[in-house]
């Protein structure tokens, strides 16, 4: 007997009648450090892509990194070489990279030359050969290098429609065989507009070399990527022994933590300065120390980092102007043993002076170092040196890049002390050349003043976003203890910030005053 089911029971729950789930596109890793993030996770599986650009940009190396990152004996990579760079030379050069593992050749990675078919036969024969090899090997990744050569050879005899048909059949076949494909080719940007190949592919990885004055910087742009959102714009690429490394121009912009409301105050290592700062620098703040040459910016930075180490907060010193050994030596004269901290792994000195540096690379270096030692404090000494190390093309964007970098690092809970050299003049109190004060939370200004026939030094806390601070202008000296704030606020002078103050109080009996700095008296 059939059981009657009431109409209410027949009603399916809302979820059961919802639309079927969308297809999940798996992403495969590129093996190129930084590129997966730029792509939004990796390369969409089974996609049909172009790696294009001018010669010498790293197209073949990128293709090799992709195959070495993905090929397995079950799903090997099939690398078709076509005229262009002979395979022997390709292997000769590619094996210099650290990712190249010759033990995987023949098993996970197979090279097949298409040169003879391309030279002697037509596109149908080329397609047939590719189909035959793919059917034999069942690859997960297919690379055709250089695809441009196939097209150029065939273009002499066939029309656009026939070429489109070839590309279409190739794309359909390779996707049908569940292969992720990379067509490598030398193209100029202007060729993209009227070339149907670029319409048909799912992804365009565009590599270029940007020249400005004597500097050449490699760039990567993801011009197109079907199925997922990639980071827009031109990203810096560097080629080293490890192959290509990409530095996203959006590095650090997403996923940052917001600063907690209850933040600790960190000591600078200079007790009187801590008092001026209302107890110290707020954790996660960016502090700018601005002053002319010789006012003790680096000394102050050293004390800040050394105090952190003393309190169990590992630190990074990104140094652009002098060598780390000079830095540690000077710290030694203040009684601060930075070498011991370096050896212990609680301090890292990054000496960043490669040619044509980009802010993104610097940020990556610093982020890597922070991760390595769990750093809580960072010194950038100095912003002027940093700017000088950049390729000219990056200098134009220095302010924007610095904003991004400091934002990313402070969001990660790092407390940053940056130094900047400013020239003292006698009409205004400039904080820096860059108008970057908006991106720092706190500013300390150091300057020279002429008092009683001596060139002395004063400091003032100009700005502190997170709280109140002393408004005093205090005199300080640099002794064998480092920067030491000596005098309380002086009320017998006006116009100290001009550098040429006027005496407003009574002149005290003039003594033969010894220079307050032991360094100066020697």
Partner 1 sequence: MRNLARCLIAYEAPEIRSFETEIPAGFPVCEKLRLHLATFMGKTGFHTLLARSLVLSIEEVPWLGAARARADDSLEGLEELRAQIDPEEFSEGELVVAAQLLGLLVAFIGEKLTLRLVREVWPEVPLDDWNSNEGRNNEKTN
**Which residues contact partner 1 (rule: CB under 8 A)?**
81, 86-89, 91-92, 95, 102-103, 105-106, 111-116, 119
Q: Measuring CA to CA, which residue among 36, 57, 69 is closest to residue 222?
A: 36
CB-CB neighbours of 324 under 10 Å: 16
Distance of alpha carbon 183 from alpha carbon 141, whole angstroms: 11
What's the min distance (Å) between Cβ of 116 and partner 1? 5
Q: Max CA-CA distance within the chain?
A: 120
Q: Which is nearer to partner 1, 109 or 338 (CB)?
A: 109
Residue linked to tokens 């050569």: 149
Do you find a cis peptide bond into 382, omega within 30 degrees of 0? yes
C-alpha to C-alpha distances, 243 to 52, 221, 278, nearest whole angstrom: 17, 17, 49
What's the min distance (Å) between Cβ of 133 and partner 1? 9
Q: Measuring CA to CA, which residue among 117, 423, 137, 457 is closest to residue 290?
A: 423
Q: Which is nearer to partner 1, 112 or 290 (CB)?
A: 112
Backbone angles phi, psi at 132, to 5 degrees: -65, -50
Q: Which is nearer to partner 1, 31 or 84 (CB)?
A: 84
What's the min distance (Å) between Cβ of 95 and partner 1? 6
Q: Which is nearer to partner 1, 84 or 516 (CB)?
A: 84
What's the min distance (Å) between Cβ of 108 and partner 1? 12
Tokens for 121, please give them.
């036969």
What's the min distance (Å) between Cβ of 64 and partner 1? 14
* Strand-pair partners of 220: 207, 235
Q: Which is nearer to partner 1, 102 or 492 (CB)?
A: 102
Q: Which is nearer to partner 1, 98 or 194 (CB)?
A: 98
What's the min distance (Å) between Cβ of 115 and partner 1? 4
Q: Measuring CA to CA, which residue among 387, 441, 448, 399 is closest to residue 417?
A: 441
* Strand-pair partners of 145: 81, 184
Distance of alpha carbon 402 from alpha carbon 422, whole angstroms: 17
| Cβ atoms of residues 25 and 45 within 8 Å | yes
Q: Which is nearer to partner 1, 242 or 480 (CB)?
A: 242
Q: Which is nearer to partner 1, 100 or 187 (CB)?
A: 100
Q: Which is nearer to partner 1, 134 or 473 (CB)?
A: 134
Q: Measuring CA to CA, which residue among 297, 284, 291 is closest to residue 413?
A: 284
CB environment 490-512: b (16+ within 10 A), e (fewer) = beebeebbbbebeeeeeeeeeee
Q: Which is nearer to partner 1, 83 or 430 (CB)?
A: 83
What's the min distance (Å) between Cβ of 59 and partner 1? 20
What's the min distance (Å) between Cβ of 83 and partner 1? 8
What's the min distance (Å) between Cβ of 87 and partner 1? 5
What's the min distance (Å) between Cβ of 154 and partner 1? 18
DSSP class of residue 362 equals H
Tokens for 254, please give them.
């997403």
Q: Which is nearer to partner 1, 89 or 471 (CB)?
A: 89
Residue linked to tokens 């990074």: 316
DSSP class of residue 242 equals T
Three-state DSSP at 115 gives helix
What's the min distance (Å) between Cβ of 197 and partner 1? 24
Instruction: Show the CA angle centred on residue 151, arms to residues 150 and 154, nearest 5°.
Output: 85
Cite the beta strand spans of 254-376 per DSSP E.
Answer: 265-266, 281-282, 286-291, 315-319, 347-351
Distance of alpha carbon 105 from alpha carbon 370, whole angstroms: 37
Distance of alpha carbon 400 from alpha carbon 277, whole angstroms: 27
What's the min distance (Å) between Cβ of 297 and partner 1? 44
Q: Which is nearer to partner 1, 87 or 234 (CB)?
A: 87
């Amino acid at each position: 007997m059939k059981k009657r089911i009431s109409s209410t029971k027949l009603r399916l729950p809302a979820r059961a009648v919802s639309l079927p789930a969308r297809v999940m596109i798996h992403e495969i890793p590129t093996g190129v450090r930084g590129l997966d993030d730029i792509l939004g996770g990796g390369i969409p599986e089974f996609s049909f892509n172009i790696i294009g650009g001018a010669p010498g940009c790293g197209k073949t190396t990128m293709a090799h990194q992709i195959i070495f990152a993905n090929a397995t004996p079950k799903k090997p990579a099939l690398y078709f070489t076509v005229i262009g760079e002979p395979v022997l030379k390709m292997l000769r050069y590619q094996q210099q990279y650290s990712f190249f593992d010759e033990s995987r050749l023949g098993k996970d990675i197979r090279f097949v030359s298409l040169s003879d078919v391309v030279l002697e036969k037509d596109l149908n024969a080329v397609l047939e050969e590719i189909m035959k090899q793919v059917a034999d090997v069942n690859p997960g990744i297919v690379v055709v290098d250089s695809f441009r050569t196939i097209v150029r050879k065939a273009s002499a005899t066939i029309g656009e429609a026939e070429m489109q048909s070839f590309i279409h059949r190739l794309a359909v076949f390779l996707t049908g065989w569940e292969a992720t494909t990379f067509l490598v080719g030398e193209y100029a940007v202007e060729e993209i507009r009227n070339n149907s190949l670029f319409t048909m592919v799912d992804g365009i990885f565009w590599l270029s070399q940007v020249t400005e004055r004597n500097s050449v910087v490699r760039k990567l742009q993801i011009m197109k990527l079907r199925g997922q959102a990639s980071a827009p714009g031109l990203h810096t690429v560097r080629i080293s022994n490890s192959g290509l490394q990409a530095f996203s121009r959006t590095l650090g912009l997403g996923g940052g933590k917001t600063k907690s409301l209850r933040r600790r105050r960190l000591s600078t290592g200079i007790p009187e300065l801590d008092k001026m700062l209302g107890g110290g620098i707020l954790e996660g703040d960016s502090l700018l120390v601005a002053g002319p040459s010789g006012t003790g910016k680096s000394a102050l930075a050293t004390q800040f980092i050394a105090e952190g180490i003393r309190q169990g907060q590992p630190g990074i010193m990104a140094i652009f102007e002098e060598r780390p050994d000079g830095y540690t030596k000077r710290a030694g004269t203040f009684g601060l043993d930075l070498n011991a901290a370096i050896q212990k792994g609680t301090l890292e000195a990054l000496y960043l002076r490669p040619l044509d540096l980009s802010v993104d690379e610097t940020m990556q270096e610093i982020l890597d170092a922070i991760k390595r030692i769990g750093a809580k404090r960072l010194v950038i000494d100095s912003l002027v040196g940093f700017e000088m190390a950049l390729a000219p093309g990056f200098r134009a964007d220095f302010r924007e890049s610095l904003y991004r970098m400091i934002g990313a690092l402070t969001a990660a809970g790092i407390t940053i002390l940056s130094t900047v050299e400013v020239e003292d003049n006698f009409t205004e109190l400039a904080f820096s050349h860059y108008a970057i004060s908006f991106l720092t939370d706190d500013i300390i200004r150091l300057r020279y003043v002429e008092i009683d026939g001596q060139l002395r030094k004063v400091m003032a806390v100009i700005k502190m976003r997170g709280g109140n601070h002393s408004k005093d202008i205090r005199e300080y000296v640099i002794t064998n203890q480092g920067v030491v704030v000596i005098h309380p606020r002086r009320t017998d002078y006006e116009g100290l910030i001009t550098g040429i103050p006027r005496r407003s109080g009574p002149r005290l009996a003039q003594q033969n005053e010894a220079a307050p700095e032991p360094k100066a008296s020697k």
